C-alpha cells in the first residue's frame, strides 16, 4: 500500500490539524488556577477527555460548543472549584481560539495539490469555521457532528462520511482516513473498511492526553509523527 494509491484524504481536525490540547489547556487556566493542589497538564487533559467522551455519549445531538460548556461545568464540579455560567460558556466558545499545529497549513496546501481534502470532525459548523481560517485551505467536503447527530467513535459518523463521498463519486478504496486519535478515528475507521494514516502527534509524550485510551487495538496502515512528515513521505513516493 502506497500513499499514492488514494485520491481523497479524510481528516479528523482536532488533535490532527488543530492543536486542541494546547487550546484546551489554555482555556482551562482560570479553572486550574483555583485548585488548591496544582494539576499537571496531562492530568488536566485526561480529565477533560474523560468528561468530554461521557458528555458526547449522553447528549449526542448537542452542539459541540454546548458539549464543551457542559464539560467545563463537570470539571469544575469534579475539581471542587466554583465557576460562573459566563466562564462555562466562554470555554464552550473557545474552539476558534485553539491554534493550528505549525505544520498544518503548509502540509494541507501541498496535499491539496494531490488529493481531495475532507473533514470528519466532532465539532459544530460555527466552531469549525473559526478553525478553518487557521488552516488556510478549502476543503472539498465538511462533515460535522452537528450534521450527523452523533459523535465519533460512533460508526454512524463514518457511514455518513462514506455516503457523502459516494455522492461525490468517491469510493471507499479512494479514501485514506488521516487522524491522531486511535479511540475516535482508527478503531471505527477499520470497522467500516477504511485505510488510515495515524498522525501520532503525541509520539514524544506519555499517556493519552485529551483522547481516551482505546478499548481495543487501534490498527492503521501508515504512521507519521506530523502532517508535515506525511507530506514529505508523499513527495518521496512520487519520486519512487
d(CA 191, CA 145): 19
DSSP H helical ranges for the chain: 20-27, 29-32, 41-58, 64-79, 85-92, 104-111, 125-135, 145-148, 155-166, 187-191, 227-239
DSSP 100: B
Q: What angle do CA 181, 177, 188 make, to 5 degrees?
A: 60
Is 12 known to be catalytic? yes
Which residue, among 97, 35, 95, has the nearest Cα to 66 in the 3D structure?
A: 95
Per annotation, catalytic residue among 5, 12, 103, 140: 12
Catalytic residues: 12
Amino acid at each position: 500500500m502506497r500513499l499514492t494509491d488514494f485520491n481523497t484524504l479524510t481528516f479528523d481536525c482536532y488533535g490532527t490539524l488543530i492543536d486542541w490540547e494546547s487550546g484546551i489547556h489554555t482555556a482551562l487556566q482560570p479553572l486550574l488556577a483555583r485548585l488548591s493542589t496544582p494539576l499537571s497538564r496531562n492530568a488536566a487533559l485526561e480529565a477533560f477527555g474523560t468528561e468530554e467522551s461521557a458528555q458526547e455519549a449522553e447528549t449526542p445531538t448537542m452542539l459541540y460548543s454546548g458539549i464543551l460548556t457542559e464539560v467545563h461545568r463537570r470539571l469544575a464540579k469534579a475539581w471542587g472549584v466554583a465557576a460562573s455560567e459566563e466562564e462555562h460558556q466562554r470555554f464552550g466558545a473557545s474552539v476558534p481560539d485553539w491554534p493550528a499545529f505549525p505544520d498544518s497549513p503548509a502540509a494541507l496546501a501541498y496535499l491539496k495539490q494531490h488529493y481531495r481534502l475532507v473533514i470528519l470532525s466532532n465539532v459544530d459548523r460555527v466552531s469549525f469555521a473559526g478553525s478553518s481560517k487557521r488552516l488556510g485551505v478549502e476543503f472539498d467536503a465538511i462533515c460535522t457532528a452537528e450534521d450527523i447527530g452523533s459523535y465519533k467513535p460512533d460508526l454512524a459518523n463514518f457511514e455518513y462520511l462514506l455516503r457523502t463521498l459516494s455522492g461525490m463519486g468517491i469510493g471507499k478504496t479512494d479514501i485514506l482516513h488521516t487522524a491522531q486519535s486511535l479511540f475516535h478515528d482508527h478503531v471505527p475507521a477499520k470497522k467500516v473498511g477504511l485505510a488510515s494514516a495515524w498522525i501520532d502527534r503525541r509520539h514524544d509524550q506519555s499517556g493519552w492526553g485529551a483522547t481516551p485510551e482505546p478499548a481495543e487495538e487501534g490498527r492503521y496502515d501508515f504512521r507519521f509523527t506530523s502532517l508535515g512528515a506525511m507530506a514529505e513521505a508523499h513527495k518521496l513516493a512520487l519520486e519512487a
